[in-house]
Amino acid sequence: MSGVTAGEALPQSLMINKAAQALRDGCLVAFPTETVYGMGADASNPSAIQKVFTTKGRPSNHPLIVHVASPKELRQGQDDWVPVLARWARDIPEDALKLMDAFWPGPLTLVFKKGKDVLNEITGGQDTVAVRSPAHPIAQALLHQFQGGVVAPSANRFGKVSPTSAADVRTEFEGNSDLVIIDGGDCEVGIESTIVDVSSGDRALLLRPGVITPKEMLAKAGVRVYGPEEAVDAHAKPQSIPRVSGSLKAHYAPTTPLRLYAPGRVLDALTEFPDTKSRVAVAVWDSEFSLGDDGHPSAQFVEVGVPSDSSAFASRLYRTLRDLDEQGWDLILFPEPPTGEEWDGVRDRLQRACFGSGPSSSNHASN
């Protein structure tokens, strides 16, 4: 089956219809969300789900996120998410309802106790399932047309840099005629969703940081979200922490070695990192001065400006990493993100990308 793109002379409704039928037929569909492009498969079809693992090279015990359409009915002036989740979640705690009302559709994934009919292929054999409703209009149109749940990890080889454009997906899976690709432009958010575990019904736990922060969840939903280190304290029973997407030590990794440098220490970094050779790409804050002519005498530099605003940084992170990776540099240096919750998402992605980066990054990805 050939790719379906916005560049074809197809009305959007026909494009969505073709992709929804592909999902029903057990095929894979790469589609845009506000975070990154997802590789979608029918969440009720075990063989289609297996295609996701095989195509990505993803370990079968690594759980997937189920994507669902927004509800058509309102509850007291708000979206009624309960019927949407009935197929997937055994229990829906009050904190979950508050978070859904505040942030769905959007870049927030919630982890529930799974319903009895949820496939083990989705959960990695766990008793929990991760669910989100994406905000991208094409993703919502596809989900409404399909009328079912869609598992959709990022549409890239496992452990590599996530795609934020249809062109990224085509490059990643060039020659794969069985993958339908919907071109919905560039992703706005640029990094994967925040993941919060609400499965205990006791307290909400942050499992993966993203652009929606605990501070924002408290302010907009009135829900306190704890860090994983707070899963056990003197006043609470121990809480097991589910495995979720993007939690491996090596992930989001370019083939080029990637390292972080401390403020004002970019030149020192060149002597600290033994994999430094001669051609180095250095990301510098757009608010700071250039390295100018004071570069390291043994290295050729190119400087790439990165935004000092956390949201803009996240939006451009994977695009920048992919572009630099394709240019054949010997080393990529990125500044350490500042402290603060709003930077936790990109800090998490950069640290995992550093660990997995380098020519042997495909080997790291199994960590």
CATH, residue 270: 3.40.50
Sign, CA dihedral 337-340-346-347, equals positive
Residue % of the chain over a pLDDT of 70:
86
Tens-digit pLDDT profile for residues 117-132: 999 999 999 999 999 9
Percent of the chain residues past pLDDT 90, beyond the cut = 70
- CA 115 – CA 228 distance, rounded (Å): 24
Whether residue 170 sits in one domain with residue 24: yes
Q: Do 210 and 171 share a structural domain? A: yes
In a domain, 237, yes or no: no
Residue 250 resides in a domain:
no
Backbone CA torsion sign across 177, 182, 185, 188:
negative
Domain boundary among 210, 230, 250: 230
What is the model's pTM?
A: 0.91
Q: Provide the β-strand partners of residue 302.
A: 281
In DSSP terms, 352 is beta-bridged to none
* 182 occurs within a structural domain: yes
Q: How confident is the model at residue 240 (pLDDT cuts 50, 70, 90)?
A: confident
Q: Is 274 found in the same domain as 226?
A: no
For the chain, how many structural domains are there in total?
A: 2
* Domain C-terminal end among 230, 249, 268: 230
Distance (Å, whole) CA 243 – CA 29: 25
Give the residue-averaged pLDDT of 74-83.
Answer: 78
Residues 224 and 266 in one domain: no
39 - beta bridge partners? Answer: 30
Q: What is the CATH number of the domain that holds 205?
A: 3.90.870.10
Same domain, 29 and 133: yes
Q: Which domain holds residue 119?
A: 12-230
Which residues, including other chains, have CB under 8 Å from residue 210's CB and lie 6 or more apart?
35, 107, 108, 189, 191, 192, 193, 194, 195, 345
Domain assignment of residue 4, yes or no: no
- The SS3 assignment for 318 reads helix
Q: Is the pLDDT of residue 363 over 50?
A: no
**237 vs 256: CA distance, rounded Å:** 44
pLDDT in tens, 333-360: 999 999 999 999 999 999 999 998 887 6
Check whether residue 23 and residue 133 sit in a common domain.
yes
Torsion of CA 32, 167, 326, 357, to 10 degrees: 30
215: in domain: yes
Q: Identify whether residues 226 and 262 lie together within a single domain.
A: no
SS3 call for 112: strand
- Please say which residue of 230, 245, 276 terminates a domain: 230
**CB contact burial 165-174 (16+ within 10 A = b; e otherwise):** bbebbbebbe
Alpha helices in the chain (DSSP H): 12-24, 46-56, 82-85, 94-103, 120-123, 137-146, 166-172, 214-221, 266-272, 310-326, 344-356, 361-364
Identify which of 48, 205, 214 has the alpha carbon closest to the alpha carbon of residue 128.
205
The reply to whether 190 and 338 lie within a common domain is no
Mean pLDDT (the chain, rounded):
88
Q: Is residue 146 part of a domain?
A: yes
Q: What is the pLDDT of residues 28-73, one digit of tens each?
A: 999 999 999 999 999 999 999 999 999 999 998 899 999 999 998 6
Statement to judge: residues 26 and 133 lie in one domain: yes
More confident residue, 246 or 130: 130
Examine the pLDDT at 235 and tell me if it is beyond 80. no
284 with 224, same domain: the answer is no
Q: Distance (Å, rounded) from C-alpha 220 to C-alpha 343?
A: 19
Residues 168 and 71 reside in one and the same domain: yes
Partnered with residue 28 across adjacent β-strands are 179
Q: Place 295 in a pLDDT band, splitting at 50, 70 and 90.
A: low
Rounded (10°) CA dihedral 76, 82, 83, 89 = 180
Q: Is 99 within a domain?
A: yes
Quick one: 195 and 286 in the same domain? no
> Distance (Å, rounded) from C-alpha 322 to C-alpha 344?
21
In a domain, 242, yes or no: no
Q: Can you say how many angstroms the Cα of residue 123 is from the centroid of all Cα atoms in its chain?
A: 17
Residues in Cβ contact with 274 at an 8 Å cutoff, skipping those fewer than 6 apart: none
Predicted pLDDT at 347: 97
The closest of 177, 188, 181, 180 to 167, measured between CA atoms, is 181
**What is the average per-residue pLDDT within 161-188?**
94
